[in-house]
Structure 1
Amino acid sequence: MIERLDHDASNERASQERDLAAWLAHYGPALRRYFARRVGDAETDDLVQEVFLRLHAARRETPIDNVDRYMFAVARNVLISRHRSNQARGGEYHQRLDVLTEPVDHLSPERVAIGNEEYARAVRAILALPPRARAAFQFHRFENMTYQAIAARMGISRESVKELIHRALVRIAEDMETDA
């Protein structure tokens, strides 16, 4: 008995898949044209897929008498849902990356050289710090330690660590400014 039920369920699933494949072959191109006229090619395949997912889900619940009418009603509802979603998220204010009119800022040899110079100046400024300020700065910025952990490691108060890091930042900024 159980084997017969499994076989019947398997046949039903196979029948639904054949119907869905036939609908996709028959209605897919028309749906693509319908969506392409309204939203462009970029989203067409996603919207067609959404229609067939809804169609498949609805078909499980009740048989569909007029597939043409139902499919394009679902397509219209998918467009309405997409429009509402875009409005809610401010979709009309977003610009796709591939249609940006501004050129991509590539790393030119000049930019690389400037970056290397800035890096070297920053390293020189850090190395020129007094030893305790440099240690506190390095623990905080490079080892991601908290003020409390630095204080425990250096044997000083949390406020002293805060002051050391503040002085280090001021001195680094001054050194980089004068070095430029």
Structure 2
Amino acid sequence: MPDEKPTSFRELFLRHRRGLLDYLRRRVGPEDASDLLQETFVRALRRERFDTVEDPPAFLKQIAVNLSRDLARRRESEARYFVAGEDAEDIVDPTIAPDDLHEASERARRFLAAVEALPPKCRQAFVLRRFEDLSHDEIAARLGVTRNMVEKHLRLALERLRAALD
């Protein structure tokens, strides 16, 4: 029976959620495991032609592995840039002029708008490289494109972002 292919997505979920949840709890802790389990199944549901997946349990496990790695990278990035427990008043330098703060805020708004305006694959490549610190090969695998295409996406992103900020 365990080797039989599930007849429905619901059956697949019921059969494998406990094992995936246990795996995710060990990897990311109990507070994030349920969210990642849900995201695992959401991503599987969104996949076109899921019915053609050769080994659905292995496919689900790979999604869970990727999500747990993504979370670990995100936590690592956050740890580098954010200090827990600091209040905004402690972080903002009171000697900075309000005009400078406004200018920085405006520049950040333009930057975010420019990122949002990028073509989808270009934006994904940029975000994965800049904010998740993935290599070009990892980005290529994640997006299903060649390394050369990742480099083209990143060049386009940088050109458009520079133009938006100048």
Q: Does the pair score TM above 0.5?
A: no
Whose radius of gyration is greater, 1 or 2?
A: 1
State the TM-score bracket (shorter-chain normalisation). 0.3 to 0.5
The structure richer in helix per residue is: 1
TM-score, normalised by the number of residues in structure 1: 0.39
TM-score, normalised by the number of residues in structure 2: 0.42
